[in-house]
Structure 1
Amino acid sequence: MLLKCIAIDDEPLALKLIAGYVARFPFLQLLNTFEDAISGAEFLKNTPIDLLFIDINMPDITGIDLVRALKVKPMVIFTTAYKNFAFEGFELEAIDYILKPIDFKRFEKAVEKAVDYHQYKTRPAAEQAEESLYVYSEYRMVKVDLNTIEYIESMEDYIKIHVTNAKTVLTLMPLKKVLEKLPADKFQRIHRSYIVPVNKIRSIQNRKVKLTDIELPVSESYLDFVRNWMKSR
């Protein structure tokens, strides 16, 4: 695997640092670096890449605006000295968002996320749904192992993914969309507000699904699942 990448930053020292970090990874190929966003955008019009390292706050055009304007978007890792651009990075589904000064360990973590996501996206569709779910949470991409999901809860425009022995993952996504990303034989919607992993259902009684540590209601629209589940016992 070889990921082609470029870096765009109006600070020469930042570009030099990123280039040095990239050189430590044999699977990253740095095609070019640019000190202004316009030159970088021109390069991207004609050259496909896999990964873009880009500063947000630049004088001619912001990194946010550049990425938003790209017709074909590579994986993006934003670098910036300012925290207040985080939500825009979230909107553009960035792989990660690194604050300056960039520490190598933090840079390495972001690169690992990009590699994981690239491997996930290049697998056959059937394999993509078997092990992991990728969502955007806290302004960066998060990998959720399917076998750790306890249940998924709708919170209007957001969903909460409750996972075993870890912090709940909050992401901007409708319940219907996340259901489409999950294997149909392993996850079931039981209510307009809940999705549950079928293998973690302990019992169903009085229109309530009992999981390991919680009971959730079953709405009228999903009673067929209850009947089929009861028949399979």
Structure 2
Amino acid sequence: MGTLRKLLEKHGKRRAIVGLTAWDYPSGLLAQRAGGIDIVLVSDSLGKIILGLPGSIGLSLDDMIHHAKAVARAVKTPFLLADLPMGSYEISPEQALTSAIRMIKEAPGVSGVKLEGGKEIIPQVSKITSAGIPVFCQVGITPQRTIQTANDEEGTGRSEVSTSEIFDDAICLQNAGAVGIMLTAVSQEAAKLMRDHLTVPTIGIGYDLLAFKALCRVEWGLFDE
């Protein structure tokens, strides 16, 4: 399994870090066989993509662990990261650490966890990292905390104020011990600011060429012909 040290060494050499999302054994195999992949995320988007839920909010920690186990059976080379779902870390730092430990212990091969949010999750990030578990944080659009609307993918880093807030969140999370920051739907200005000033890797999250986003919107009626 890929190590955090290798990931950070690549970042230190200013080389791009390549990541993919996987939700199950088949998608994990695709990521493994693709070659050149540095990090694989077991994303809570599996709620929508794999399980047909309206979004990620309905997922449980047990769901995430179940799918992380499947991905880990396929992924051997990249660093393997898994989302902690909504409701598994927000209540307290102790809850967050318990959930992170469960993920690492019950899904062998998973090497770190990802949380969504800004300064409000600093205590959780500090608690988990103090136990030696690597934490990545997602800023920008955070689906676990956003009511699903047609505009969910619109950039949140467009204005000077929001760019400043997102950057401040990222700096605070880095200082709390986060080893990487993932960016979703932030402006180019915000992304460049974080890339140039953070010491940890910044990784943009987007949809791939397989267009799984479109797959979520398919209606059975389209196949009647």
TM-score normalised to the size of structure 2?
Answer: 0.31
Q: Which has the higher strand share?
A: 1
TM-score normalised to the size of structure 1?
Answer: 0.30
Q: Which has the higher helix share?
A: 2
Q: Which has the higher contact order (CA 8 A, sep 6+)?
A: 2
